[in-house]
Amino acid sequence: MYKHSPSPYVLVLAGSASLAIAMGVGRFAFTPILPMMLHDGVLDLSRAGELATANYVGYLAGALAAMAVPRRWDHTFVIRVTLVSTVLLTALMAAPYAEAWVALRFLAGVASAIGFVFTSGWCLAQLSGTGSSIGSAIFTGPGAGITVSGLAASGMTILGLTGHAAWLVFAALSAIISAVIWRTFGRSSRPSDAYSVGTSTRASGKVPKSELPLFAIAYGLAGFGYIVTATYLPVIAKNSIPGSPLLTVFWPLFGVAAVVGSLLAARVKNSVDVRLHLIAAYLVQAVGVGLPVIWQDGFGLALSSVLVGLPFTAISFFAMNEVRRIRSSHHARYMGLLTAVFAIGQIVGPPAVGVIMGHVTSVDDGFDLALAVASIALVVGAAIYIAMILLFPSERAARRPGHTVRQN
């Protein structure tokens, strides 16, 4: 017998907070702390790339593990384990044992991916059938976490605190938030693998086998496309406008934009093919990623932060709901698959930057080339969605005169 489900607003707040810890801290706290650690002299850009890659590899491993978790397991137990793990792994980064940092960032990535898949799936399952249209609001969590971590890191930089202290502060904040939301993640009132938010499953006909692989490739390109900005934004800003008082603004601005993007995603029309929303999101992000190549002052970097951040979590929301149309059952498994492919795209990012840096004459030229390549990857992803719309019309297109759904 399941307990009564919390109200939709409580679910959204708890889900958002859980994702803020899993993603905003477990994944992205390293980005605003990186300049502090560079200043402390405890690592260089090459070592920073190794730590970032370890986290992304862990994210891939976590996504694969999420696919293998038995459906009979209580998803809320898994969510609680990821919350505790993130707090502990974040705190351990403050230990003066640099040789352990790679392992810690790897495990933090594992916890992040599992937390993302199971928090998203469980919360959307509980919202199913409630008549609530606020499901996408749980995806404000990563943006909120990024914003808070960025502002906190800015404050700690002003106070002259070290990177070690920053890790402890983030661990403490995560522990407090986890304690507040802990009771919300009780046993669910409905199965976690049967949710429906914002889209409808394909009602008739078999789904072409090639549709999901194409969709996964396009989603993986999004992982590669944004990761250079998400990993190195504070460093890029520091190189472009050294000494500027705006240096600590760009990362929090990215987070605020991600929150706004999630809220806007909740207002899109359900009658429109979700892939059109994804195309628009990819193109907006492509412009944002490539903008610092040609516009390197404070305003250009601020606009880049906004344009990259706006579609950041909205892309995840649209993609996770599109899975329902492509695969009408075993959602957690396919969410894990998409998350794994996304992680592969992210893993390629930091090593690619390292390779590029080894073939250019300056750091600025290296970042410019890396950002240009990432922007092109997002355009290619958008082109794949355009091809999918032509090859695999959705049931919404089939309902318009003159359109039929292809059957394979």
Residues 182, 82: Cα–Cα separation, whole Å: 12
Sequence-ordered alpha helix ranges (H) in 41-74: 45-68
> How far from 202 is each of 76, 212, 318, 326, 394, CA to CA, in Å?
29, 13, 16, 7, 8
Q: State the amino acid at position 281 in one-letter form.
A: A
**Model confidence pTM above 0.85:** no
**Which stretch of DSSP H or E encloses residue 178?**
helix 163-181
Q: Write out the two tokens for 329.
A: 């059952």
> How far from 347 is each of 49, 173, 226, 283, CA to CA, in Å?
10, 27, 12, 22
Residues 332, 24: Cα–Cα separation, whole Å: 21
The radius of gyration of the chain's CA atoms, rounded to the nearest angstrom, is: 20
| Tens of each residue's pLDDT in the chain, 408 residues | 445 567 778 888 888 899 999 888 888 888 888 888 888 888 877 788 788 888 888 988 888 887 777 666 677 888 999 999 999 999 999 887 888 899 999 999 999 989 988 888 788 777 765 555 566 678 788 888 888 888 888 888 888 888 889 999 999 999 999 999 998 887 555 444 443 334 444 444 455 566 778 888 888 898 888 887 777 777 777 777 776 666 677 778 888 888 888 888 777 766 677 888 899 999 999 999 888 888 877 788 888 889 988 888 888 878 877 776 665 555 566 777 777 888 888 788 777 777 787 777 776 777 788 888 888 999 999 999 898 888 877 655 444 444 443 433
Residues 94, 164: Cα–Cα separation, whole Å: 4
